[in-house]
Structure 1
Amino acid sequence: MQLHDVWFVLIAVLWTGYFFLEGFDFGIGVLTRLLARDRAERRVLINTIGPVWDGNEVWLLTAGGATFAAFPDWYATLFSGFYLPLLIILVCLIIRGVAFEYRHKRTEERWQNGWEQAIFWTSLLPAFLWGVAFGNIVHGVAIDQQKNYIGGFGDLLNPYALLGGLTTLLLFTFHGAVFAALKTVGDIRTRARAMALRLGLVTAVLALAFLTWTQVHRGDGWSLAALVVAVLALLGALAANQLAREGWAFILSGLTIVAAVAMLFLSLFPDVMPSTLNPAWSLTVSNASSAPYTLKVMTVVAAVFTPLVLLYQGWTYWVFRKRIGVQHIPSGQPAGPAGPAAPAAPAAES
């Protein structure tokens, strides 16, 4: 295996980690309007991700930076051709971060409601648009002989990509519902499990349709194996959720995302952006990669710093592992970011 193949795998791992972690972040944001009944419950949901949401976005920055350094032609074609949807995602992520920090600065109803609406929409739109973007990457786009995307924004809104967007939106929201059940106590925990069941059933139908379409279009034996794992993991997550085994449900819903994203990258390889105009014009791991020396330096840096990042992020999740509920929200206090959950909260089930 050559270094450009190794970096394709590493970039796939980074995107998979981002969707696994940011997936339940987006899901929680969407659930602030679908699951929470009042401001206290919305604060509980936001507090479940308060200590970790910004750390989860590091995976996106690393994935983007690694793509730029390891595959500059892929990065250039992707970010120029998909400029508008990626710009919308970037703006949403900026507003979303501001909303988390600003919503508790004032106690007025209009102020807090406005920022809570922002959290909902800036979670929903990226969850949908990431599926559209990766659907187009796998399906292929109009790339000419000079490696330039020559299509328009409307070309990106094809049926396959839109189905991919709906799939990621529902899958992330289901993942968020399972996470909410894992991290809360009381009535909101029970309703999160019930919503996870409903979301999971719809997600299963859409995900099976999208992944089957992917397999028929570009799949091989490896991608078929990933498809089977994704389906079995989703069914297992639904079963664990019904048994109130939230820890296992979360692991299995995360495995569903991991297997689904792995299938997309397995279907894509050795291309990184297929051309629908001429297969010979497709960007591949070999013709879109950096020089071997650059990849060697990147490999050394990644080997040193990746374990440190994983250890720090794992420590963060361990520190903030307790469940929370509305009883832990001080009445009459500004709805600020979460601190560690109250010691009295029971440990999460597995």
Structure 2
Amino acid sequence: MTQAISGQRITLTGTSEILIRFAGRDASRLSVAAFTGSGALHPLDQMGTTDWRLSGCNHDKLEIVAYITDDKQGGFVNSAYPCTVTIDGTSYSFPEPVEQLAAVIIGEIYTKSGTVRMKVSNEGFTFGIDAYARARNLGDLPIPNRSRPRDNAPRPSPWGDNPSPDRSSPWGDPSPPPRGGAFASGSGVLIGPNLIVTNAHVIDGGNEFALGRTQQRLVPVAVDPMHDLALLQGQIQGEPLPIRINSPVWLGEAVMAAGYPLMEVLGADLKVTTGNVSGLTGGQGDVSRFQFSAPIGSGSSGGAIIDEEGNLIGITSASLAHQNFRDRGAISENVNFGIRAAIVFEMIAAAGMPLPTTAAQAGGNRRDVTNRLRNSVVSILVSA
């Protein structure tokens, strides 16, 4: 068997047959698909639980992607390696990814000067096939063997995934804020000029959206229900928060959560709480989220989770449904979940918006950091 290296080019023919086999521990959780440069699906034949076959390579561009089918349960393609790719009878051992990835582009087939080649790859996406689909603008293209709940199926869960502010949520139904016509409120973070990120569930069910402070109208420009994120645009005065994407979230690091919980009770000013990162995954091992202990409440959804320097590391998304656990005889306090800032950055890129350019902060005391938050974290009013 020949050891392939990342970046190596292997010559193919238009009639080449490619056999792909994964033999690692999690190989049974994997699927393999190919996508054309125009965003169309080129199906592979599944020969067994861990074997696939690709016939016909006469495309100008074709990416072969291996991905965890149930990545909401956690896990990475890395644990499905070793990967053997056999091309026209010659077997290659393909390189394992260096980073932990839930979707890996194992090969890129292209045609140049009439010659068909495959570029060996071990790059991909930490957050799985959904991140790949966003990056390639695949839209609603069905992904083979993708495990996900039906859109209309009820999902009772102690993790409080995708709560709706105007319906049931992990912290209960919020009362409407004291504004005419508004039936729900949430928080948002200014991440670029006139660009706000919030939770998708904050704006779900609404037709009109406005800043709580100025009543300035906001318009949704992108929504990602899978990761519970939404981007809104409007005339917004403030200072964008820097997004920390060059450093991972660290277990135990100190954080602050900023938002507008319980506006009808606590008032419309910004609330800031402190805590730490208490877990590196969300409910059921969701690698797109992390757990933190800073207290939050109804209306905190979409707010900022920042490090000690004032850099955005996540967006407040959900809190553990306490009653569900009490009914089981368990106790839970301050078990909250945030969406990683890297997902926000990916969403901005996928939406075709200008990438944030605010430089990361370093140093500064808590008072200065908190004062900066007043110009970066906003309240959002949702109206029918």
Structure 1 length as normaliser, TM-score? 0.22
* Structure having greater relative contact order (Cα 8 Å, sep ≥ 6): 1
Structure with larger Rg: 2
